């Protein structure tokens, strides 16, 4: 070590210092980062305790080249991260990319898709609505998730996460129509499940339902009796379906019925599951007053299976985002529309 310090001291007295030497009067006694790869080593010399900084940095030109190379690499990485925004994609191209991304990652939010594709949040919401209509994603609050494996019907958990606040308001408004001593019908929709959660304190209430989830929700409600048909378990809707259940329900009577749909237009009410639709028609036939419970995302959509004509419906309970022109058209048909 002594020889190194003597060499450094001698070099200070020469007109030119070596390229790896830096000298200062009172540098702090700690390591400092120098250049691209270099690390300084501090030592003290003589009685004045002067600090010398020995640099192990590469030659100047190599350092500049390395910095230039790193700058180019960083720019390339940044460009790769924002690849979709390099040019404006056609709407169909963007839809295909979003569908593939959600399929791969299982979920995506409106905010991250808006940033990734450099379009507004409103545009992304429209894209996700269209992809949901095609059955490629499931809309949730603030984004979308991948559909379940068979593509026929959303999983119950995914449907429960969709439009949560709106379904809660609709469920609360529908529950207000139910009185002690009533008999009601509830289908296997997640909005009907929201209604059931608000009926646990009713007295002498009878609930006719094909939904296992509704039955479980009310299983420990002492004032509520639950009537269920027989049938085959549909794992997608977690309900009992089939001809046996329809036959049983044909013998039941309910004062009010509450039914969800997957599509609602001025001309038709539609659903995606034919087995569930069959049970739903039986429940509608058993109900004296038919209420459709559907959030605004269902308006203007047409699903696979027709349910019942509007002439069989007394009331629609929906949220305030429902399209005003369609609301007016239904009211003109004599259907009451409650906006909550």
| Same-domain status, 95 and 71 | no
Is residue 77 domain-shared with residue 95, that is, in the same domain? no
Same domain for 142 and 203, yes or no, is no
Residue 198 shares a structural domain with residue 321: yes
pLDDT of residue 158: 58
Residue 52 lies in a domain: yes
Cβ pair 340, 173 in contact under 8 A? yes
Same-domain check for residues 37 and 68:
yes
Same domain for 110 and 253: no
Residues 64 and 202 in one domain: no
Dihedral in degrees, nearest 10, Cα atoms 129, 130, 136, 142: -20
Q: Is 41 inside a domain boundary?
A: yes
| Statement to judge: residues 192 and 335 lie in one domain | yes
Q: Which of 56, 81, 106 finishes a domain?
A: 81
Q: Which pTM does this prediction carry?
A: 0.58
Which token pair is 234?
């549909």
Q: Are residues 143 and 259 in the same domain?
A: no
Instruction: Give the pLDDT score at 148.
Output: 54
Helices (H), the chain: 2-12, 60-81, 91-105, 110-117, 121-133, 156-160, 164-175, 190-196, 212-217, 243-249, 274-286, 324-332
* Domain assignment present for 4: yes
Per-residue pLDDT of the chain (340 residues; tens, 9 = 90+): 555 445 444 544 444 444 444 444 444 444 444 444 444 444 444 444 444 444 444 444 444 444 445 545 444 444 443 444 446 789 998 998 998 898 888 888 999 999 999 999 999 999 998 887 777 787 777 888 776 544 444 555 556 666 788 999 999 999 999 999 999 999 999 999 999 999 999 999 999 999 999 999 999 999 999 999 988 888 878 899 888 888 888 889 999 999 999 899 999 999 887 888 888 999 999 999 999 999 998 999 888 889 999 999 999 999 999 999 999 999 999 999 999 9
Tally the domains of the chain.
Answer: 3
- Size (the chain), residues: 340
In a domain, 155, yes or no: no
Domain interval for residue 58: 1-81
The answer to whether the beta carbons of residues 199 and 175 sit under 8 Å apart is yes
Q: Are residues 70 and 103 in the same domain?
A: no
Do the domain assignments include residue 152? no
Pick from 161, 138, 129: nearest CA to 301:
129
> Do 157 and 179 touch, CB atoms closer than 8 A?
no
CATH code where residue 222 lies: 3.40.50.10470
- From 65, 81, 97, give the residue that closes a domain: 81
Asked if 221 and 195 touch (Cβ cutoff 8 Å), the reply is no
CA nearest neighbour of 174 among 293, 45, 273:
293
Same domain, yes or no, for 220 and 236? Answer: yes
Contact 160, 280 (CB under 8 A): no
* CATH code for position 98: 1.10.10.10
134 occurs within a structural domain: yes
Residues 21 and 168 in one domain: no
Residue 153 lies in a domain: no
Specify the DSSP class assigned to residue 252. Answer: -
**Of 27, 53, 81, which residue sits at a domain end?**
81
């Amino acid at each position: 070590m002594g020889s190194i310090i003597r060499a450094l001291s001698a070099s200070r007295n020469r007109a030119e210092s070596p390229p790896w030497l830096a000298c200062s009067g009172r540098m702090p006694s700690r390591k400092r980062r120098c250049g691209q790869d270099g690390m300084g080593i501090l030592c003290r010399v003589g009685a004045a305790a002067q600090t010398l900084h020995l640099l192990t940095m590469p030659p100047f030109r190599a350092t500049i080249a390395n910095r230039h190379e790193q700058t180019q690499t960083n720019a390339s990485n940044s460009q790769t991260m924002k690849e979709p925004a390099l040019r404006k994609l056609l709407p169909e191209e963007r839809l295909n990319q979003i569908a593939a991304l959600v399929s791969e990652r299982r979920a995506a939010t409106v905010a991250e898709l808006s940033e990734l594709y450099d379009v507004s949040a409103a545009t992304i919401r429209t894209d996700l609505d269209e992809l949901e209509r095609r059955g490629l994603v499931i809309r949730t609050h603030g984004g979308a998730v991948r559909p379940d494996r068979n593509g026929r019907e959303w999983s119950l958990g995914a449907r429960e996460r969709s439009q949560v606040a709106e379904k809660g308001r609709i469920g609360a408004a529908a529950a207000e129509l139910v009185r002690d001593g009533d008999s009601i019908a509830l289908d296997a929709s997640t909005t009907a499940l929201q209604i059931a959660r608000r009926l646990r304190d009713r007295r002498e209430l009878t609930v006719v339902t094909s939904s296992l989830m509704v039955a479980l929700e009310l299983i420990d409600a002492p004032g509520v009796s639950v009537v269920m048909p027989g049938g085959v378990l549909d794992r997608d809707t977690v309900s009992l379906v089939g001809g046996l259940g329809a036959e049983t329900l044909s013998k039941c009577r309910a004062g009010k019925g509450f039914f969800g749909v997957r599509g609602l237009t001025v001309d038709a009410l539609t659903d995606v599951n034919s087995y569930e639709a069959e049970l739903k028609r039986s429940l509608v036939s058993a109900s004296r007053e038919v209420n459709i419970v559907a959030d605004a995302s269902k308006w203007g959509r047409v699903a696979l299976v027709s349910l019942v004509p509007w002439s069989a419906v007394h009331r629609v309970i929906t949220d305030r985002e429902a399209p005003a022109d369609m609301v007016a058209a239904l009211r003109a048909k004599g259907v009451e529309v409650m906006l909550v």
